[in-house]
């Protein structure tokens, strides 16, 4: 658990972070979202003491972080940044092994960990491990950056716009990976982004920041349904928040489940259990149909989603 109590950071006269209170529960993904210069990166960098705070308290699991040795503190916090910051003179494997090396893990344990992480992030442990960062594509480099952040098996992950510089398709696939990894590892994560869609997709709770203050701190659904101010309303986009709300839920929660999985009829389109309701609605519009079958991973039909029910979700 990370607690920020009355934390302020000034740069000279300017106030970057203004007396904020924020509690991040263990295992949740807290996304700090806001336009550039709103203080979200400054907040993140105060948590691992890359920046000292001007006043207030930051506690990790009840302990004030200023009491710990800053290096020891950071070794227990994975850190991934937008420009990856991969060491250009080291191979991918050595880059990922940085924190285990700093923690003085035995070589064999470290190498196993590197291989495990390469596989987890969808990289090839054989060929990619020996590459140098400049031989990677942007998406691969960012995967290595995330793998490096996870390498020391930290309790906390700090991510500063890690996917900000990637193209839309690569970003989308890395977001999916993040969700998958997070389900598997349950790290307490602080994630900074300016992209509200990314925030809605990844967050357990979102903290909307503006001019150094936290405007609203709540679950994605609550933020969409009850924006605290005109600023938040603008940020989420008034027009399509109904669709964004649908995007938060998967069809598996809404479908009418069959008592027994059955063999699917050969229809034009069907849904997967993990698809969002937004996709379900889109497919219904496209096929002009009231109902769509839902298939599980093995391809068996496990239920039906119908439009009537789906349209009630937004209300």
| x/- track of binding to other proteins for residues 33-72 (CB under 8 A) | ---------------x-x--------------------xx
Q: Which is nearer to other proteins, 89 or 183 (CB)?
A: 89
With CB under 8 A, what is the number of residues at the site for other proteins?
28
Local structure of 156: helix, strand or coil: strand
Contact 33, 215 (CB under 8 A): no
**By CB under 8 A, is residue 86 in contact with other proteins?**
yes
Local structure of 263: helix, strand or coil: coil
| 129: DSSP letter | G
Which tokens belong to 207? 């903290």
Question: Can you tell me which of 42, 84, 142, 250 binds other proteins, judged by CB under 8 A?
Answer: 84
What's the CA gap between 182 and 201, in Å, rounded?
Answer: 12
Q: Which is nearer to other proteins, 99 or 281 (CB)?
A: 99
Question: Can you tell me which of 35, 55, 66, 83 binds other proteins, judged by CB under 8 A?
Answer: 83
Instruction: State in angstroms the smallest separation of the CB of 82 from other proteins.
Output: 8
What's the CA gap between 144 and 15, in Å, rounded?
Answer: 34
| x/- track of binding to other proteins for residues 134-153 (CB under 8 A) | x----------x--xx--x-
| x/- track of binding to other proteins for residues 241-280 (CB under 8 A) | ----------------------------------------
What DSSP letter does each residue of 150-212 carry, written as one string?
A: HTT--SEEEEESTTTTS-HHHHHHHHHHHHHHHHHH--EEEEEES-HHHHHHH-SEEEEEETT
Contact 313, 258 (CB under 8 A): no
Contact footprint for other proteins (CB under 8 A): 48, 50, 71-75, 78-79, 81-89, 98-99, 102, 132, 134, 145, 148-149, 152, 158
């Amino acid at each position: 658990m990370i607690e920020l109590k009355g934390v302020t950071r000034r740069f000279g006269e300017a106030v970057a972070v203004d007396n904020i209170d924020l509690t991040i529960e263990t295992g949740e993904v807290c996304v700090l979202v806001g336009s550039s210069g709103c203080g979200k990166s400054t907040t993140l960098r105060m948590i691992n003491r890359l920046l000292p705070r001007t006043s207030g308290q930051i506690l990790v699991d009840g302990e004030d972080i200023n009491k710990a040795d800053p290096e020891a503190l950071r070794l227990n916090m994975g850190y991934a940044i937008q420009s990856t910051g991969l060491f250009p003179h080291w191979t991918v494997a050595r880059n990922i092994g940085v924190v285990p090396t700093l923690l003085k893990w035995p070589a064999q344990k470290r190498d196993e960990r590197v291989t495990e992480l390469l596989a987890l992030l969808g990289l090839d442990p054989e060929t990619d491990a020996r590459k140098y960062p400049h031989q990677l594509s942007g998406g691969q480099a960012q995967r290595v950056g995330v793998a490096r952040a996870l390498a020391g098996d930290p309790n906390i992950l700090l991510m500063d716009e890690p996917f900000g510089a990637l193209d839309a398709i690569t970003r989308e696939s890395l977001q999916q990976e993040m969700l998958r990894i997070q389900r598997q590892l349950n790290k307490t994560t602080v994630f900074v982004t300016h992209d509200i869609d990314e925030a809605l997709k990844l967050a357990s709770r979102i903290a909307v920041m503006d001019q150094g203050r936290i405007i609203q701190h709540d679950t994605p659904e609550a933020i969409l349904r009850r924006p605290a101010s005109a600023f938040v309303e603008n940020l989420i986009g008034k027009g399509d928040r109904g669709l964004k709300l649908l995007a938060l839920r998967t069809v598996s929660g809404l479908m009418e489940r069959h008592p027994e999985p059955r063999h699917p009829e050969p229809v034009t389109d069907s849904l997967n259990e993990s698809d969002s309701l937004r996709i379900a609605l889109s497919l219904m519009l496209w096929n002009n149909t009231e109902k769509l079958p839902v298939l599980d991973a093995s391809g068996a039909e496990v239920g039906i989603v119908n439009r009537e029910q789906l349209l009630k979700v937004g209300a």
